[in-house]
Amino acid sequence: MAGSRTQTVGSVFSRTRDLLRIGVIEKPLWFDVYAAFPPLREPVYRVPRPRYGKVKDVVPPIFYQEDEVRAKFYRIYGSGPRPFNLSQLNYKSTCQRFVEKFNELKAEGKIEEEKLFEETGKALLASGIILQRRGTDKVAQQDRQGVETRDSALHLQLQTVLEEMQERKKDQEEQTPELAEAQKEKPSPS
Protein backbone atom coordinates (compact mmCIF):
# COMPACT_ATOMS: atom_id res chain seq x y z
CA MET A 1 0.00 0.00 0.00
CA ALA A 2 2.28 2.71 -1.25
CA GLY A 3 1.36 6.11 0.08
CA SER A 4 -0.85 4.73 2.87
CA ARG A 5 -0.86 6.75 6.09
CA THR A 6 -2.71 4.26 8.27
CA GLN A 7 0.17 4.09 10.72
CA THR A 8 -0.77 7.60 11.88
CA VAL A 9 -4.34 6.60 12.72
CA GLY A 10 -4.74 4.76 16.03
CA SER A 11 -2.18 2.53 17.72
CA VAL A 12 -0.69 -0.77 16.67
CA PHE A 13 -3.05 -2.52 19.09
CA SER A 14 -6.22 -0.87 17.71
CA ARG A 15 -5.24 -1.55 14.10
CA THR A 16 -4.38 -5.19 14.91
CA ARG A 17 -7.68 -5.59 16.82
CA ASP A 18 -9.62 -4.29 13.83
CA LEU A 19 -7.76 -6.61 11.44
CA LEU A 20 -8.54 -9.57 13.75
CA ARG A 21 -12.27 -8.71 13.79
CA ILE A 22 -12.33 -8.71 10.00
CA GLY A 23 -10.37 -11.96 9.87
CA VAL A 24 -7.47 -10.66 7.78
CA ILE A 25 -4.69 -11.81 10.12
CA GLU A 26 -4.15 -14.45 12.76
CA LYS A 27 -3.83 -13.44 16.40
CA PRO A 28 -0.22 -12.45 17.20
CA LEU A 29 1.44 -13.80 20.35
CA TRP A 30 1.69 -10.41 22.04
CA PHE A 31 -2.00 -9.50 21.57
CA ASP A 32 -3.38 -11.21 24.72
CA VAL A 33 -0.52 -9.86 26.87
CA TYR A 34 -1.13 -6.32 25.61
CA ALA A 35 -4.89 -6.67 26.24
CA ALA A 36 -4.25 -7.94 29.80
CA PHE A 37 -1.63 -5.30 30.64
CA PRO A 38 -2.27 -2.19 28.55
CA PRO A 39 0.20 0.70 28.84
CA LEU A 40 -0.71 3.73 30.93
CA ARG A 41 -0.56 5.96 27.87
CA GLU A 42 -1.71 4.64 24.51
CA PRO A 43 1.21 4.80 22.02
CA VAL A 44 -0.28 6.77 19.14
CA TYR A 45 1.43 8.81 16.48
CA ARG A 46 1.52 12.51 17.16
CA VAL A 47 2.64 15.15 14.69
CA PRO A 48 5.76 16.81 16.08
CA ARG A 49 5.25 20.43 17.03
CA PRO A 50 7.15 22.93 14.96
CA ARG A 51 9.99 24.66 16.73
CA TYR A 52 9.86 28.41 16.85
CA GLY A 53 12.90 30.60 16.81
CA LYS A 54 16.34 29.70 15.66
CA VAL A 55 16.97 25.99 15.51
CA LYS A 56 20.49 25.27 16.70
CA ASP A 57 22.42 22.45 15.11
CA VAL A 58 23.53 20.32 18.01
CA VAL A 59 26.03 18.34 15.94
CA PRO A 60 29.09 20.45 15.11
CA PRO A 61 30.83 19.86 11.79
CA ILE A 62 33.53 17.25 12.12
CA PHE A 63 36.87 17.93 10.42
CA TYR A 64 39.96 15.84 10.80
CA GLN A 65 43.48 17.07 10.09
CA GLU A 66 43.77 14.71 7.16
CA ASP A 67 40.62 16.18 5.57
CA GLU A 68 42.55 19.33 4.71
CA VAL A 69 45.33 17.23 3.17
CA ARG A 70 42.79 15.21 1.17
CA ALA A 71 41.06 18.37 -0.07
CA LYS A 72 44.35 19.86 -1.18
CA PHE A 73 45.37 16.56 -2.81
CA TYR A 74 42.16 16.33 -4.84
CA ARG A 75 42.39 20.03 -5.75
CA ILE A 76 45.95 19.65 -7.07
CA TYR A 77 46.05 16.08 -8.39
CA GLY A 78 42.38 15.21 -8.99
CA SER A 79 40.94 11.76 -8.45
CA GLY A 80 43.31 10.07 -10.88
CA PRO A 81 42.94 8.29 -14.21
CA ARG A 82 41.39 5.11 -12.83
CA PRO A 83 38.33 4.47 -10.66
CA PHE A 84 38.76 3.11 -7.14
CA ASN A 85 38.93 -0.67 -6.89
CA LEU A 86 36.63 -1.36 -3.95
CA SER A 87 36.38 -5.09 -4.62
CA GLN A 88 39.72 -5.65 -2.83
CA LEU A 89 39.53 -5.54 0.94
CA ASN A 90 42.98 -4.03 1.51
CA TYR A 91 42.81 -1.51 -1.37
CA LYS A 92 44.32 1.90 -0.66
CA SER A 93 43.68 4.78 -2.98
CA THR A 94 46.46 7.07 -4.10
CA CYS A 95 45.01 9.77 -1.88
CA GLN A 96 45.07 7.47 1.16
CA ARG A 97 48.69 6.57 0.49
CA PHE A 98 49.49 10.26 0.11
CA VAL A 99 47.81 11.09 3.44
CA GLU A 100 49.64 8.27 5.23
CA LYS A 101 53.00 9.39 3.81
CA PHE A 102 52.16 13.00 4.69
CA ASN A 103 51.41 12.06 8.30
CA GLU A 104 54.57 9.94 8.46
CA LEU A 105 56.76 12.81 7.23
CA LYS A 106 54.96 15.24 9.53
CA ALA A 107 55.60 12.97 12.53
CA GLU A 108 59.32 12.90 11.72
CA GLY A 109 59.35 16.69 11.91
CA LYS A 110 62.36 17.12 9.60
CA ILE A 111 60.44 19.00 6.89
CA GLU A 112 58.85 22.43 7.22
CA GLU A 113 55.05 22.68 7.02
CA GLU A 114 55.13 24.73 3.79
CA LYS A 115 57.24 22.19 1.91
CA LEU A 116 55.67 19.11 3.43
CA PHE A 117 53.00 18.68 0.73
CA GLU A 118 55.47 18.76 -2.16
CA GLU A 119 57.99 16.61 -0.30
CA THR A 120 55.27 14.01 0.21
CA GLY A 121 54.66 13.97 -3.54
CA LYS A 122 58.39 13.49 -4.15
CA ALA A 123 58.56 10.69 -1.57
CA LEU A 124 55.66 8.87 -3.27
CA LEU A 125 57.36 9.33 -6.63
CA ALA A 126 60.51 7.75 -5.17
CA SER A 127 58.43 4.78 -3.99
CA GLY A 128 56.97 4.32 -7.49
CA ILE A 129 53.63 6.12 -7.27
CA ILE A 130 53.30 8.67 -10.06
CA LEU A 131 51.12 11.69 -9.36
CA GLN A 132 49.88 13.83 -12.22
CA ARG A 133 48.89 17.37 -11.48
CA ARG A 134 45.65 18.65 -12.85
CA GLY A 135 47.01 20.58 -15.79
CA THR A 136 43.91 22.56 -16.70
CA ASP A 137 45.94 25.63 -17.63
CA LYS A 138 48.52 23.57 -19.52
CA VAL A 139 45.84 21.63 -21.35
CA ALA A 140 43.98 24.80 -22.24
CA GLN A 141 47.15 26.41 -23.59
CA GLN A 142 48.01 23.31 -25.60
CA ASP A 143 44.49 23.22 -27.00
CA ARG A 144 44.70 26.88 -28.00
CA GLN A 145 48.05 26.31 -29.69
CA GLY A 146 46.69 23.24 -31.44
CA VAL A 147 43.63 25.17 -32.62
CA GLU A 148 45.79 28.03 -33.87
CA THR A 149 48.05 25.69 -35.87
CA ARG A 150 45.03 23.82 -37.24
CA ASP A 151 43.33 27.10 -38.15
CA SER A 152 46.42 28.44 -39.90
CA ALA A 153 46.90 25.16 -41.82
CA LEU A 154 43.23 25.10 -42.79
CA HIS A 155 43.44 28.76 -43.85
CA LEU A 156 46.44 28.00 -46.07
CA GLN A 157 44.67 25.03 -47.65
CA LEU A 158 41.54 27.04 -48.32
CA GLN A 159 43.56 29.89 -49.79
CA THR A 160 45.43 27.49 -52.08
CA VAL A 161 42.18 25.87 -53.26
CA LEU A 162 40.63 29.30 -53.88
CA GLU A 163 43.61 30.44 -55.95
CA GLU A 164 43.49 27.23 -58.02
CA MET A 165 39.79 27.71 -58.67
CA GLN A 166 40.34 31.32 -59.76
CA GLU A 167 43.14 30.24 -62.15
CA ARG A 168 40.90 27.56 -63.69
CA LYS A 169 38.10 30.06 -64.14
CA LYS A 170 40.44 32.51 -65.88
CA ASP A 171 41.78 29.75 -68.12
CA GLN A 172 38.24 28.72 -69.06
CA GLU A 173 37.28 32.32 -69.84
CA GLU A 174 40.38 32.71 -72.04
CA GLN A 175 39.78 29.39 -73.80
CA THR A 176 36.10 30.04 -74.44
CA PRO A 177 36.59 33.01 -76.91
CA GLU A 178 39.44 31.15 -78.65
CA LEU A 179 37.25 28.06 -79.10
CA ALA A 180 34.39 30.15 -80.44
CA GLU A 181 36.68 31.76 -83.04
CA ALA A 182 38.18 28.40 -83.98
CA GLN A 183 34.73 26.92 -84.49
CA LYS A 184 33.70 29.83 -86.72
CA GLU A 185 36.74 29.33 -88.91
CA LYS A 186 36.31 25.58 -89.09
CA PRO A 187 32.69 24.66 -89.09
CA SER A 188 32.14 21.15 -87.88
CA PRO A 189 30.85 18.68 -90.52
CA SER A 190 27.35 17.76 -89.63
Q: What confidence tens digit (pLDDT) does each residue in 20-58 have?
A: 999 999 999 999 999 999 999 888 877 777 777 776 767
Task: Please list the ranges in the chain whose pLDDT falls under 50.
Answer: 1, 137-144
Please tell me the pTM assigned to this model.
0.42
Tens-digit pLDDT profile for residues 128-138: 888 888 765 44
Give Cβ neighbours of residue 176 (< 8 Å, ≥ 6 apart): none
Whole-angstrom distance, CA of residue 107 vs CA of residue 83: 30
